[in-house]
Every structure is written in C-alpha cells, then in structure tokens.
Amino acid sequence: MEGHDYDRFRVDDPAEVMALLERSARARVLCSVRAAGRAETYLSPLHSIDEGGAVELDAPRAPVIERLLVPGGTASVDLRLSDCRVSFEARVERVGHAAGGRTRIRLARPDWLMRLQRRETYRVRVPEDLPVRMTLDPADAAMVGLQLHDLSTQGGSVSVTGVRQRFGAGTVFSGGRLVLPDGTEWQLAFRVIHAAVLRRRGEGGDMRLGLQFVHPPAGFETAVGQWVGRIARRLPGEHAAA
C-alpha cells in the first residue's frame, strides 16, 4: 500500500451528511469554493450549518466567480478535516449581508457528500490467474462474472465490456454477488464510487468501475481480508495496488 493512498466513499444517508457538515462547522475549517465546472477558486471559512443543513460561506470577491455564484447557481466545495477530505456540490439559495457588513452566500443542504480518507486496509492487485469474480447485474450478460482488477475489504474495481448505458458515481447494484477463489459466494450490493469510459463502441462501451461494498453480511470482511492477505504474500511487493 502506498503512503498516499485514499478511499472514496459516497455519503448519501441524510444523518451522515448532517454529521459531517456539523463537524466541519465546529472545526471552522477553511473551504476551497468554486462555481461547479470552473477552475477559479477562493477560500472561505465554513461559518455555520443551520438545522436544515444549509451552509453559510463568505461570498466571492473576484468578479469572474461572483457572476456565477448567484441564486440558482451551483457551488463546489472542498474541505479538509483531521482524518479525511470532504467535497460536495450545492445550490446557491441566497446572497446577502451578514453582521459586520460581510457578504455571505447560503447553500442548500447537499444531497450527498464525497468523503476521501487515507486507506486503512490493504488494496491488492488481483493476479489474472486467480479467479475473484463479481456480478453486478445477473440479468445482464455483460455484467456477470467480472474478474476484479484489485481488491480490499472495502471494495474493488472491474472493467465492463459492451455496456449499453453509462454508470456514474452513486449507482447502486443491489442484486450483486462476489465469488472468491475458494468458490465461496457472497450476496451483497455494490455502489459505484468512480467510473471511467475506456472505449466507446457502436453497440455499447467499455467502462472501468471502482466499487464500494454496501452493507456486507457478517463474516464477509474477514473472508475477503484473508484473501487480500494471501494475495499480498503470494508475490510480496508485486501486488500492492497503486
């Protein structure tokens, strides 16, 4: 495992979203703020979170950003806590003056957050001759028995060939299964954390998907962890995933 290796987790449970926002407000973290889709950023403390989850930040002073972060626009916010990074997008609800004459912007509560934290478990590359198979949708032949590229107790990645639709972050495959090299089969859901189109085709496309295990059953983490350890020991130094 490399020293600067991170896992990405999509947080869409309302209680978890609020907990991270409130923690950020208590820490008075400095946020990097920009208009969604633009590169220009500015810094602002996260001043407050109200009971509904609305976020209050300083308004931008640069005209190029000010013109975009108006009511109805979308702000992209990135902040760092002691143990993770948090990013989200939210709609601008209001721009107005606060005590002291400073201009503030109010953002609606985001529907979900992306949490990045330093990986706490090993992720290993899976050798091609070691069958670790994932099925995302048993009704779609293109998504059955996919060989994993890498594996940890928290998730893994696969390539899908000939998919007829694109899958974005947050997509959940609720009827999935994972088959380990010893033949044990686990029924669970998978959530897409990141997705990339590798190649477009006339009747579909090829995608690389990074997936998170969702609500794994009892014993699953132990079983996967044992195989992660075996793979890491099989050829030491060759299977640490980048």
In this prediction, what percent of the chain has a pLDDT beyond 90? 48
Within 8 A by CB and 6+ apart from 167, the residues are: 192, 195, 207, 209
Report pLDDT for 14.
87
Report pLDDT for 107.
96
d(CA 1, CA 125): 10
Q: Which two tokens stand for residue 101?
A: 């004459």
Q: Please answer whether residues 147 and 128 qualify as being in contact, where contact means their C-beta atoms are separated by less than 8 angstroms.
A: yes
Report pLDDT for 82.
82
pTM for the structure as a whole:
0.55
Mean pLDDT of the chain: 85
Q: Please answer whether residues 89 and 36 qualify as being in contact, where contact means their C-beta atoms are separated by less than 8 angstroms.
A: yes
Mean pLDDT of 236-241: 47
Lowest mean pLDDT among 44-53, 95-104, 121-130: 95-104
Q: Which two tokens stand for residue 20?
A: 């991270």
* pLDDT band at 119; cut points 50, 70, 90: low
Q: 45 pLDDT exceeds 70?
A: yes
- Rg of the Cα atoms in the chain: 21
